[in-house]
């Protein structure tokens, strides 16, 4: 198939284009290298354009499927800059729909959408609403916490993902790990999240492209198992043999207490555990 992946140089995008190319698809990638750095996926692309999805790029082509991953994804930053998150995540999606023709529009939603506690989450849900109104054939994935690495590609920009931060502390790149609140109504007082390896996300996208549009409200990609912040830190300590310096910090605005998959997408087949995610990320930090 002829496919387009936006955000192709990013963390999830890089893993996705590799998986799609290895499945023998023709893959075009778009990115604007927002972070000033990028994952080099050139050998997995048939065509590349340095392009911002919010630009007025005009009618641009026809594809068997479009995987729209480009967007902004930091909850704390979205609270400070809500207009930017609506501009990129909502208007950028509208712009894509207006200017790219496809029978299958695949969207990267977020698990934050249930709590709706941040502009990030609300901007993603608004994009979902636009897709459902304007597109006949679509699949909306709600990713839970993407983590780990295939050993080559990495998260870009400053470290915000818990597993990456923990790995950087274990690799002596950061002095300590902040725990934002330990008085939540959970088993150990810290927030609970569901985690999924980024390679398993990529595999799910490969599968749904083969099957075609789902046209359901959303497809959840996670594990149906929640881990607290302290449990994730403990897993990192276990696989690395390191004791991480911890700091209890105030709660962050926009953080929900718990976020776990309740109904898993049939396209989600897990091959990696939480400990695998921790070890993969730690090994990558040692090489960088």
Number of domains in the chain: 1
pLDDT exceeds 90 at position 220: yes
- Summarize the confidence of residues 240-258 as an average pLDDT: 95
Q: What angle do CA 24, 27, 33 make, to 5 degrees?
A: 140
- Write the CATH number for 248: 3.40.50.720
Burial 119-136 (b: 16+ CB within 10 A, else e): bbbbbbbbbbebbeeebe
Model pTM above 0.85: yes
pLDDT in tens, 45-87: 999 999 999 998 888 889 999 999 999 999 999 999 999 999 9
- Per-residue pLDDT, 60: 83
pLDDT exceeds 90 at position 6: yes
Mapped onto helix, strand or coil, the DSSP state of residue 248 is: strand
Residue 97, phi-psi category: left (phi > 0), alpha (psi -120 to 50), beta (remainder): alpha
Pairing of strands 145-147, 105-110: unpaired
Q: What percent of the chain has pLDDT over 90?
A: 90
Lowest mean pLDDT among 54-63, 177-186, 207-216, 267-276: 54-63
- Per-residue pLDDT, 55: 92
Task: With beta carbons less than 8 A apart as the criterion, state whether 5 and 28 touch.
Answer: yes
Give the confidence band of 20 by pLDDT, cuts at 50, 70, 90.
very high
pLDDT in tens, 136-155: 999 999 999 999 999 999 99
User: Per-residue DSSP letters for 250-263?
Assistant: PPPTT--SEE--SS
> What SS3 string covers 36-78?
CCCCCCHHHCCEEEECCCCCCCCCCEEECEEEECCCCCCHHHH
Give the confidence band of 120 by pLDDT, cuts at 50, 70, 90.
very high
- Per-residue pLDDT, 134: 97
List of residues 6+ apart from 32 with CB closer than 8 A: 50, 51, 52, 70
List of residues 6+ apart from 15 with CB closer than 8 A: 150, 153, 198, 199, 201, 202
- Per-residue pLDDT, 36: 87
Distance CA 9, CA 40 (A): 7
- Per-residue pLDDT, 82: 97
CB atoms under 10 Å from CB of 270, counted, come to 17
Return the axis-axis angle of helices 11-22 and 198-211, rounded to nearest 10°: 50
Structural domain range at position 187: 2-287
Of 115 and 90, which is predicted with more confidence? 90
- The candidate with the shortest Cα–Cα distance to 162, out of 74, 35, 240, 283, is 74
- Per-residue pLDDT, 31: 96
- Per-residue pLDDT, 80: 96
pLDDT exceeds 90 at position 34: no
- Per-residue pLDDT, 273: 96
pLDDT exceeds 90 at position 98: yes
- Per-residue pLDDT, 110: 95
Mean pLDDT in the chain?
95
Give the confidence band of 262 by pLDDT, cuts at 50, 70, 90.
confident
């Amino acid at each position: 198939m002829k496919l387009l992946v936006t955000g192709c140089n990013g963390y999830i995008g890089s893993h996705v284009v590799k998986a799609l190319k290895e499945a023998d698809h023709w893959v075009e990638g778009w990115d604007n290298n927002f972070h000033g750095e990028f994952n080099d996926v050139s050998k997995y692309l048939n065509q590349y354009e340095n392009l911002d999805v919010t630009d007025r790029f005009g009618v641009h082509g026809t594809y068997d499927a479009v995987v729209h991953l480009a967007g902004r994804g930091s909850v704390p930053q979205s609270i400070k800059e809500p207009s930017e998150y609506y501009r990129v995540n909502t208007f950028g999606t509208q712009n894509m729909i207006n200017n790219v023709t496809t029978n299958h529009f695949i969207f990267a939603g977020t698990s934050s959408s249930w709590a709706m506690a941040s502009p990030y989450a609300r901007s993603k849900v608004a994009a979902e609403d636009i897709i459902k109104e304007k597109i006949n054939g679509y699949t909306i994935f709600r990713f839970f916490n993407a983590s780990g690495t295939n050993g080559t590609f990495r998260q870009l920009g400053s470290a915000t993902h818990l597993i990456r931060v923990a790995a950087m502390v274990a690799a002596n790149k950061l002095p300590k790990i902040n725990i934002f609140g330990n008085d939540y109504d959970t088993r150990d007082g810290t927030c609970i999240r569901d985690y999924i390896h980024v390679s398993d996300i990529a595999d799910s996208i490969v599968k749904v492209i083969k099957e075609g549009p789902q046209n359901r409200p959303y497809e959840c990609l996670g594990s149906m198992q929640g881990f607290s912040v302290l449990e994730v830190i403990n897993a990192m300590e276990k696989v690395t043999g390191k004791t991480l310096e911890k700091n209890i910090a105030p709660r962050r605005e926009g953080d929900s207490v718990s976020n776990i998959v309740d109904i898993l997408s049939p396209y989600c087949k897990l091959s990696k555990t939480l400990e695998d995610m921790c070890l993969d990320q730690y090994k990558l930090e040692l090489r960088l």
